């Protein structure tokens, strides 16, 4: 069993073992991009390296800051922001209910 801090392991497992085959390739790429941007945001604006990022960092403040950032700084439409939010919620809920293990 993986520790809750193994964010990158959970993310890979989520994308490869859980989501692949359940969603289209384009949707899978959208999920991937959500987390690529989240990790970029964490590194550049919160000084959290990818290797140090863990599920605990998915706090409401972090998620809200990230969503504001993609809307304001990256110019994402509200519909895109909503999709990114739902990607994170699904991932976090699956991790926390141990469906990924």
Other CB atoms within 10 A of residue 85 CB: 16
Q: What is the per-residue pLDDT for 100?
A: 47
Q: How far apart are CA 38 and CA 50, in angstroms?
A: 10
Number of domains in the chain: 1
The answer as to whether 2 is a domain residue is no
Asked which of 8-12, 42-46, 79-83 is least confident by mean pLDDT, the reply is: 8-12
Is 4 a residue whose pLDDT tops 60?
Answer: no
The answer as to whether 11 is a domain residue is yes
CB 64 within 8 A of CB 89: no
Q: What residue numbers bound the domain in which 80 lies?
A: 7-96
CB 87 within 8 A of CB 76: no
């Amino acid at each position: 069993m993986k520790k809750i801090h193994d964010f990158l392991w959970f993310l890979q497992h989520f994308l490869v073992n859980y989501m692949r085959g359940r969603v289209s390739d384009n949707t899978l790429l959208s999920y991937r991009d959500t987390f690529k941007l989240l990790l970029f945001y964490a590194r550049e604006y919160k000084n959290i390296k990818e290797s140090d990022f863990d599920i605990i960092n998915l706090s409401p403040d972090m998620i809200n800051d990230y969503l504001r950032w993609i809307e304001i700084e990256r110019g994402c439409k509200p519909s895109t922001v909503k999709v990114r939010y739902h990607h994170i919620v699904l991932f976090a809920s699956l991790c926390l209910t141990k469906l990924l293990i």
